[in-house]
A and B are shown apart, each in its own frame.
Chain A
Amino acid sequence: DSGVTQTPKHLITATGQRVTLRCSPRSGDLSVYWYQQSLDQGLQFLIQYYNGEERAKGNILERFSAQQFPDLHSELNLSSLELGDSALYFCASSDPPDGRGASSTDTQYFGPGTRLTVL
């Protein structure tokens, strides 16, 4: 158990819908990362938050957005869902940062993931 929790574990929805995925980082970790894992694209970095602020952006679609709340939990919002959005979505948190919003070692602890199925 990594200490990172994600809910829900599974989510089935229809095209055009909007869903919210939730992540709670390990106690003490200020950085949260979101990833998408699909069979054809592998593990793709989406976005990173540090202490409530966006710090790095990867291959995140405009239909997707995220935020980190004062209690440090994070939510990933996926809207206008398409069949191709079906994937595993992982959240990770990292060691206490070096003051620049990134862990000096970047040891990330991953949650169990949310499996999203868009029908």
Chain B
Amino acid sequence: GESVGLHLPTLSVQEGDNSIINCAYSNSASDYFIWYKQESGKGPQFIIDIRSNMDKRQGQRVTVLLNKTVKHLSLQIAATQPGDSAVYFCAERRSYIPTFGRGTSLIVHP
């Protein structure tokens, strides 16, 4: 079936390291992808997005890479900080309906 999933449920890194969170999708018709961050007790917060006609997009300390050949999406966080500790979700959109992955918990050790 079609799905959006995450390879790792938990990722632990040291403060200052770069973090990479991965996401696999199987629906080649998806035209838009989004990464969200969710801190404990809060709603998801938009981080960065990318359209299917792009393969890379950069924001402030974050980069999203899209590999349509293998249907893979990744979020790179540079110089990870303790404040980056949260659950990160990838989401795909097809026909205006978003589908979210399960989430990866990022733990940043000081």
Contact = CB atoms under 8 A, between A and B. Distances in A.
Interface of A: 2, 4, 33, 42-45, 48, 55-56, 58, 90, 92, 100-102, 105-113
B43 A90 contact: yes
A87 to B, nearest CB: 13
Given A45-B100, A106-B96, A110-B44, 16 more contacts: A4-B43, A33-B98, A42-B100, A42-B103, A43-B44, A43-B89, A43-B103, A45-B97, A48-B97, A100-B96, A107-B49, A108-B44, A108-B46, A109-B46, A112-B42, A113-B43
Contacts, number: 55
A55 B96 contact: yes
Interface of B: 32, 34, 42-46, 49, 89, 93, 95-103
B34 A106 contact: yes
Contacts of A112: 42-43
Which of A90, A106, A112, A113 is the most central at the interface, judged by chain B CB atoms within 10 Å of its CB? Answer: A106
